[in-house]
Amino acid sequence: MRSNRLNDCMGNLDQYVFPGGYELLYVTPNGEIVCADCANGARSSEWTPHSLVRAFIHWEGPPITCQGCDTEKRSEYGDPDEPRYPEIRLDIDLSGPDGNAHFVLGKVVEALYRCECKPVEVDKYIGEATRDDYDNLLRVTRRWINLDG
Ligand SMILES: [Zn+2]
């Protein structure tokens, strides 16, 4: 298992923690929050990997905006009041033949890819959704997208 230290052996900061695929964000010496790309200097020359104070995972709550590139970073467990991908809306008749686990999972994965979701994100959804029973699948799915039915 990969450790959570700031630098990997190449001197680059990790973007994701494995296992789990959770995204790391970094805090700069002046208290700004930046994504791994910015932390690695891809879009800014103001930080070096060595000047960063700490790495953390944004577990829950509204998105955080990277102060380097203005990209919105969604929290891993989302805003409690809103799904992770609120723009995805699926209407599935859960009590009908389309309500089986494989169909629901397939539809959500398809929608995530259509939404240009990264493979690591899709894998994370599949991992969480298939960890337990059918109720868990629906619970996880509702945390990721707007599921009607
Ligand atoms: Zn950034």
Could you list the mean pLDDT of each consecutive 10-residue stretch along the chain, which spans 149 residues? 46 82 89 88 63 87 91 84 88 92 96 91 94 96 90
Q: Tell me, in angstroms, the distance from the centre of ligand 1 to residue 72's CA.
A: 9
Same domain, yes or no, for 139 and 89? yes
Task: Report the C-alpha dihedral over residues 4, 142, 144, 136, rounded to 10 degrees.
Answer: 40
Check residue 17 and give its pLDDT. 87
CB atoms within 10 A of CB 85: 20
Question: For residue 109, is it within any domain?
Answer: yes
d(CA 117, CA 110) in angstroms, rounded, equals 10
Peptide bond into 19 cis (omega under 30): yes
Same domain, yes or no, for 69 and 93? no
Q: Tell me, in angstroms, the distance from the centre of ligand 1 to residue 52's CA.
A: 14
Q: Tell me, in angstroms, the distance from the centre of ligand 1 to residue 96's CA.
A: 44
Q: What is the pTM of this model?
A: 0.61
Which of 7, 41, 73 is the C-terminal boundary of a domain? 73
Q: Tell me, in angstroms, the distance from the centre of ligand 1 to residue 41's CA.
A: 9
Same domain, yes or no, for 98 and 144? yes
Question: For residue 133, is it within any domain?
Answer: yes
Check residue 112 and give its pLDDT. 96
Question: For residue 27, is it within any domain?
Answer: yes
Q: Tell me, in angstroms, the distance from the centre of ligand 1 to residue 43's CA.
A: 7
Q: Tell me, in angstroms, the distance from the centre of ligand 1 to residue 39's CA.
A: 7
Q: Tell me, in angstroms, the distance from the centre of ligand 1 to residue 139's CA.
A: 31
Check residue 46 and give its pLDDT. 66
Which of 33, 53, 73 is the C-terminal boundary of a domain? 73
Q: Tell me, in angstroms, the distance from the centre of ligand 1 to residue 71's CA.
A: 6
Domain of residue 59 covers: 16-73
Q: Tell me, in angstroms, the distance from the centre of ligand 1 to residue 16's CA.
A: 14
Q: What is the total count of domains within the chain? A: 2
Question: For residue 79, is it within any domain?
Answer: no
Which of 28, 45, 73 is the C-terminal boundary of a domain? 73
Q: Tell me, in angstroms, the distance from the centre of ligand 1 to residue 33's CA.
A: 9
Check residue 110 and give its pLDDT. 97
